[in-house]
């Protein structure tokens, strides 16, 4: 019985790795494909317009459309992060970062006191923590990359749709009448600025509601 359960768990783990690998492959294809494949960005936008075009015609206000899309991507991103990341690893990393900050404070105080014995002990402690940070850094990178590959599958096509179809004058908050495709600063269109503001605010609310801690 125990052996059967072990085999079942191994099969589930293998299937999970297979799904994660396929998602990562598709995610990176979407991410890099828009750079290396001519016309892929327009194709993504055109196909997605079949779904997003009718609602945008009904609502007829791209500020509201962008808020809705920010809610969709924020919810999707939060759910993916919650169920794909190893939060024990993330918590361990944060704990090591805090330890390193505390050690650095101790080191500065010991230097001021010119306490060579204390400095030597602190340096040994710091070396040990740095070793642990190095050991966990590879897993940290993998944990951060894993959800990103899932997230881009949905987010990049939505972003490409906005890039192609968002247009029109709107009453932009705190700025006034503005053409959404006009440039705000550093080559950033106003619609990108609006999406970023909405996405940050919405994602914070969603993460708090779902009880998702910060990954960093």
Question: Would you state the structure tokens that stand for residue 198, as one six-digit string?
Answer: 């909405």
CB 147 within 8 A of CB 25: no
* 164 pLDDT tier (thresholds 50, 70, 90): confident
- In this prediction, residue 125 carries a pLDDT of 86
R_g of the chain, CA atoms, integer Å: 24
For residues 205 and 202, give the distance between their C-alpha atoms in angstroms, rounded to a whole number. Answer: 5
48 has pLDDT over 50: yes
Q: For residue range 7-41, what is the model confidence (pLDDT) as tens digits?
A: 666 666 666 666 666 666 666 666 566 656 767 78
- How many independent structural domains does the chain possess? 1
> Which residues are CB-neighbours of 13 under 8 A, at least 6 positions away?
none
- In this prediction, residue 68 carries a pLDDT of 93
Q: For residue range 81-93, what is the model confidence (pLDDT) as tens digits?
A: 888 777 777 778 8
CA 13 to chain centre: 24
- Comparing CA positions, the residue from 130, 122, 121 lying closest to residue 106 is 122
Mean pLDDT of the chain: 80
Share of the chain above pLDDT 90, in %: 8
Does 160 map to a domain?
Answer: yes
Question: Would you state the structure tokens that stand for residue 30, as one six-digit string?
Answer: 């979407």
- In this prediction, residue 12 carries a pLDDT of 66
Q: For residue range 100-125, what is the model confidence (pLDDT) as tens digits?
A: 888 888 888 888 888 888 888 888 88
Mean pLDDT of 154-182: 84
Mean pLDDT of 133-149: 76
| DSSP helix/strand/coil, 170 | strand
Weakest-pLDDT range from 138-142, 154-158, 160-164: 138-142
Domain residues for 197?
2-210
Q: What's the predicted TM-score (pTM) here?
A: 0.69
Does 121 map to a domain?
Answer: yes
- In this prediction, residue 10 carries a pLDDT of 64
- In this prediction, residue 38 carries a pLDDT of 65
Helix spans in the chain (H): 2-36, 40-59, 62-84, 87-113, 116-165, 190-210
CB 66 within 8 A of CB 166: yes
Does 83 map to a domain?
Answer: yes
- In this prediction, residue 8 carries a pLDDT of 67
Does 45 map to a domain?
Answer: yes
Please provide the size of the chain in residues. 216
Does 216 map to a domain?
Answer: no
Q: For residue range 51-65, what is the model confidence (pLDDT) as tens digits?
A: 898 988 888 788 999
- In this prediction, residue 67 carries a pLDDT of 92
Question: Would you state the structure tokens that stand for residue 147, as one six-digit string?
Answer: 């959800």
- In this prediction, residue 5 carries a pLDDT of 65
- In this prediction, residue 216 carries a pLDDT of 44
50 has pLDDT over 70: yes
Report the C-alpha dihedral over residues 183, 186, 192, 198, rounded to 10 degrees: -120
């Amino acid at each position: 019985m125990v052996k059967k359960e072990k085999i079942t768990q191994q099969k589930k783990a293998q299937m999970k790795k297979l799904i994660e690998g396929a998602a990562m492959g598709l995610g990176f294809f979407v991410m890099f494909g828009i750079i290396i494949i001519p016309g892929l960005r327009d194709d993504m936008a055109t196909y997605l317009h079949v779904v997003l075009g009718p609602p945008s015609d009904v609502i007829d206000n791209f500020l509201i459309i962008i808020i809705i899309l920010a809610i969709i991507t924020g919810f999707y991103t939060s759910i993916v992060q919650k169920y794909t990341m190893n939060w024990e690893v993330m918590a361990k990393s944060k704990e090591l970062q805090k330890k390193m900050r505390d050690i650095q404070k101790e080191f500065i105080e010991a230097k001021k006191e010119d306490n060579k014995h204390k400095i030597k002990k602190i340096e040994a402690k710091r070396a040990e923590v740095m070793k642990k940070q190095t050991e966990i850094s590879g897993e940290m990178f993998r944990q951060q990359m894993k959800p990103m590959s899932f997230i881009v599958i949905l987010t990049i096509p939505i972003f490409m749709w906005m890039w192609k179809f968002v247009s029109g004058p709107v009453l932009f908050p705190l700025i006034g009448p503005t053409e959404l495709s006009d440039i705000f600063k550093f080559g950033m269109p106003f619609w990108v600025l609006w999406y970023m503001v909405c996405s940050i605010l919405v994602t914070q609310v969603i993460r708090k509601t779902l009880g998702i801690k910060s990954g960093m």
